[in-house]
Structure 1
């Protein structure tokens, strides 16, 4: 089971305030712990939405609309993510509970969301096989 820990943005992260050395050190220790346990798939911080681009689809079949950031509502944005693969929802919660406060001053928030597996998206064996083949191709490219 794959889960994404989504670190919610704050006014500081949206203003481009970088984590302190202590915060970075704590996150690196945590990420190394995940890596050594064999559950870490990815972990990255994101630039503020001031440099972001939003693509929206205003109508079915219509032309996508491009909007440059920044975007308002910091609480609706994400500042980073960690992607893990674990055996259960409970294990994902245990790992999420161990993540250091991502913003370091008691206002951090993490949202934990399960990632769909191909078998959950479709019952069509051909579509499932294509999705698994794509994942295997990505893994081979990493090596």
Structure 2
């Protein structure tokens, strides 16, 4: 079965400064338990805020390192999930359920892509 990466992008301006609510974390825990029991979830993790990150860029033979936060980007990578699904449609359905677990004030986008094998 193919594997899919769901890359979670969040708008840090709409995310609570103190992180996800306990209610959101409970809903996420329940969903992750369900998707794991279904044999779909292979790995998932959240990431620390972009203020704690760095970007390493290579262009024209030169490297540069930029400290976060990355104010030029509206959305930043907030986490990821690797799922094993029968097809893209199933991966998208699980991703929709993940997004709907969030409170309405969050702005979250997931890019779902099949992982190239071989």
Does the TM-score normalized on the shorter chain lie above 0.5? Answer: yes
For the superposition of Structure 1 and Structure 2, which TM-score range results when normalised by the shorter chain? 0.7 to 0.9
Q: Which position in structure 1 is the counterpart of 2:78? A: 79
RMSD: 2.1
> What TM-score results when the alignment is normalised by the length of structure 1?
0.70
> Aligned runs of 1:38-49 on 2, under 5 Å?
38-49=39-50
Which consecutive residues of structure 2, in runs of 5 or more, have no partner in the other structure? none
Q: Which position in structure 2 is the counterpart of 1:92? A: 91
After superposing the two structures, state which structure 1 stretch, 70-79 or 38-47, moved more.
70-79
CA distance in 2, matches of 1:17, 1:73: 22
* Greater per-residue helix proportion: 1
Structure 1: 4+ residue segments shifted above 4 A = none
* 1:110 to partner: Cα distance: 2.8
SS of alignment partner, residue 57 of structure 1? strand
**Bigger-Rg structure (1/2):** 1
Aligned length: 116
Q: Which position in structure 2 is the counterpart of 1:136? A: none
> What TM-score results when the alignment is normalised by the length of structure 2?
0.83
SS of alignment partner, residue 71 of structure 2? coil
- Per-residue Cα deviation, 1:27-83 (whole angstroms, up to 9, x for no partner): 000111111011111111111111101000021xx2421111110145331212221
